[in-house]
Amino acid sequence: MQTKQYDFETQWKIGQEGETFLDQWLSPTYKVLNVSEDMKYQQSGIDRVVTRSDGSVITIEYKFDIAAKRTGNLFFETISNDKELIPGWGWSSQADYWIFLIPEQEILVFKPGKLRALVWELQKSLKERSVSNNGYNTLGYPMPLTQARKVAFQIKTLYLEKL
């Protein structure tokens, strides 16, 4: 099943809004440094360097998944570009934590190894999907939120549905 083509520019702007939201969520507790424009960090799949109150430092990659609320799945990217065979962030990110923002629903924080292990465990039951880009496709697995939540490090509910 082919979906409409992914528009990088539109998605980038939406992603910026998500990054601002997550920066504000983290800022009361942590010092947050945006390194997303630094090529060294980009190549490692790191968007933020965060300093804890004890002075220790961790790295974070943000994921803004606007389809997850509708689909009930997180997208775990396995191949970023099928023409150049560039590995997806799911395998290549070197961040200490991944933070997924699902607008108007929740924030999920993962240790990458836990989510990767879940993908390996469920791989035979997951269906790989292709997202069309400009001249290439991105491949990955829609991961059921019900399964992903089981391995999340932290879950923060954003809004309650109408009671």
How many CA atoms are closer than 13 Å to the CA of 51, on its beta-carbon side? 7
Residue 37, class by beta-carbon neighbours within 10 Å (0-12 exposed, 13-18 middle, 19+ buried)? exposed
Residue type at 36?
S
Going by C-alpha positions, the residue among 120, 97, 108 that lies closest to residue 45 is 97
pLDDT at res. 2: 47
Specify which residues 51 forms β-bridges with: 31, 57
Distance CA 16, CA 33 (A): 15
DSSP reduced 3-state for 66: coil
Instruction: Give per-residue pLDDT as tens, 34-53.
Output: 999 999 999 999 999 999 99
Listed in sequence order, the residues at least 6 apart from 61 whose beta carbon sits closer than 8 Å to its beta carbon are 45, 46, 47, 48, 89, 93, 95, 97, 98, 99
- Whether 156 and 106 have beta carbons less than 8 Å apart is answered as yes
Instruction: Give per-residue pLDDT as tens, 82-135.
Output: 999 999 999 999 999 999 999 889 999 999 999 999 999 999 999 999 999 889
C-alpha gyration radius of the chain: 16
**pLDDT band (50, 70, 90) for residue 15:** low
Q: What is the pTM of this model?
A: 0.87
